[in-house]
């Protein structure tokens, strides 16, 4: 199957831009300045398909499950 559609794309915080639609392949997530963690839940329509996550401000990515990624903001001095 050559299907690049997504079944599911969910963010634990912030706003997904544009709103989820299975045939859309490029998204951005905006979060507030106090956000320290963001969990992405991704499921592709084709189990053999892959996806790429580009990260700019969240540096640590941990794979929690084949379809769940956890991104964290690094600690800065003066911030817990």
Q: Is residue 51 part of a domain?
A: yes
Q: Is residue 78 part of a domain?
A: no
Give the Cα separation of 32 and 57 in Å (integer): 12
Q: Is residue 47 part of a domain?
A: yes
Q: Is residue 18 part of a domain?
A: yes
Terminal Cα distance for the chain, rounded: 47
Q: Is residue 77 part of a domain?
A: no
Domain count, the chain: 1
Domain, as residue range, for 16: 6-72
Q: Is residue 80 part of a domain?
A: no
pTM value?
A: 0.67
Give the Cα separation of 55 and 69 in Å (integer): 12
Instruction: Give me the sign of the Cα torsion angle 53, 54, 58, 62.
Output: positive
Q: Is residue 40 part of a domain?
A: yes
pLDDT in tens, 57-75: 665 566 666 666 667 766 6
Q: Is residue 1 part of a domain?
A: no
pLDDT in tens, 18-37: 999 988 878 888 888 788 78
């Amino acid at each position: 199957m050559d299907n690049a559609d997504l079944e599911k794309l969910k963010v634990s915080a912030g706003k997904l831009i544009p709103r989820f639609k299975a045939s859309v392949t490029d998204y951005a997530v905006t979060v507030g300045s106090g956000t320290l963690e963001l969990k992405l839940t991704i499921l592709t329509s084709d189990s053999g398909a892959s996806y790429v996550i580009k990260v700019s401000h969240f540096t640590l990515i941990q794979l929690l499950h084949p379809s769940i990624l956890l991104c964290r903001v690094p600690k800065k001095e003066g911030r817990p």
